[in-house]
């Protein structure tokens, strides 16, 4: 799995973004459809970015505020 112990901090432009919820994407933190190719039931979390901003995407996939980092990775 392509998990990381910390957020993926990315500059985002307005538009829809599909965050990888399974950790298998080769294009973290974004979904590349790998879950579908493997027959897994996971689905991406799609969010609408309203304005250009920096986003801290969850890298450990355990956030209580998915798809955004809430610091869960630091809790062990």
User: What single-letter DSSP state applies at residue 30?
Assistant: B
Tokens found for residue 67: 């798809």
Q: What is the pLDDT along the chain (76 residues), one digit of tens a residue?
A: 568 999 999 999 999 999 999 888 999 999 998 877 666 668 899 999 999 999 999 999 999 999 999 999 998 6
Q: Count of domains in the chain?
A: 1
Please report whether residue 51 resides in a domain. Answer: yes
29: region left, alpha or beta (phi > 0 left; psi from -120 to 50 alpha): alpha
Residue 76 has what pLDDT? 65
Please report whether residue 65 resides in a domain. Answer: yes
Please report whether residue 2 resides in a domain. Answer: no
Tokens found for residue 19: 């965050």
Report the 10 Å Cβ neighbour count for 71. 14
Domain that holds residue 25: 8-75
Residue 3 has what pLDDT? 81
User: What single-letter DSSP state applies at residue 71?
Assistant: S
């Amino acid at each position: 799995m392509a998990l990381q112990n910390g957020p993926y901090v990315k500059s985002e432009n307005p538009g829809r973004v599909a965050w990888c919820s399974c950790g298998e994407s080769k294009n973290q933190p974004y979904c590349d459809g790998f879950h579908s190719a493997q027959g897994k039931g996971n689905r991406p979390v799609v969010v609408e970015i309203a304005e250009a901003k920096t986003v801290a995407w969850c890298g450990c996939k355990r956030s209580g505020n998915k798809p955004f980092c809430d610091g869960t990775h630091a809790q062990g």
